[in-house]
Structure 1
């Protein structure tokens, strides 16, 4: 059954209320039409309509915090599992009001027709301290492969790394040492006493590990 109604973003319906014009007992997956302007778009209500106003607001906050770009109203409706569009507008209003009265240095802004959670401009000088820090260089695929071999097989020599990868490892290995991700741990008891390599504390910090035992194992890597 399709029911056509216009949802005004400025007067959102309360949580759990059936949209005006919907017959009593209308199914939750009924299709309604919502508008944020002259154009209409069809919205099929989903599991999000069963969520409380508080849960919607909390999930909305998490989405806006984690998003790397502004989120439009239709996108938020989808990410929140399709509650009534007016309820998303109400959640945005509630979040904005909460931020205005709280001591958190955050603001909710509409940017190019989409929503974004931003730091308060008053604290721009604090954010600039972070931006002025040197950003870590990106690691190439070859360096990541070499780093993985060292992490799982350390202490390991350059010859062992080259035997596994099938290519010369010298330049990549030197680059990892220069970045502080790999360190020399000693020498192997072999002819020529080749250097042995292992990962560093910087490696653990860079990849969010507390110890080498936290590296994923074969079984974990094969899990979907």
Structure 2
């Protein structure tokens, strides 16, 4: 391929990020472009800063588990007209269950049912099927019930680096009062 310059390498990285359907780690990119992880991280950081400055409809997101092109939040109303988000097809009960899992994880099915006051078996299967939650272990004790938690897809969908970035529910409870 010959000697590549910084702009060429950045263009290749942009192409990789554009066609990827998941965040790419520094390691993955460095292996593809045949550079050290340090050099690759520098190029990714340069690209990240460049995208923060420009006035495009998308930006480069730096997540805990990789880099990903995303659309800007202020364009969400227009994008929603084009695509119905995965969660819009979820029932209110499924969204409530997902919120409980997100805030209380790891949590068992019976603990969710205790909070909601209804059975959640089918809802749990739906959320697992959509890869929004997963089994994260088992609780010690009688029956060793399955513990559920959110997935990377959940974080990615909501644009979060980690679960600590969820909004605090107390804020919304005060607004409703």
What TM-score does the superposition give when structure 1 sets the normalisation length? 0.39
Larger radius of gyration: 1
Q: Which has the higher helix share?
A: 2
Larger RCO, structures 1/2 (Cα 8 Å, 6+ apart): 2
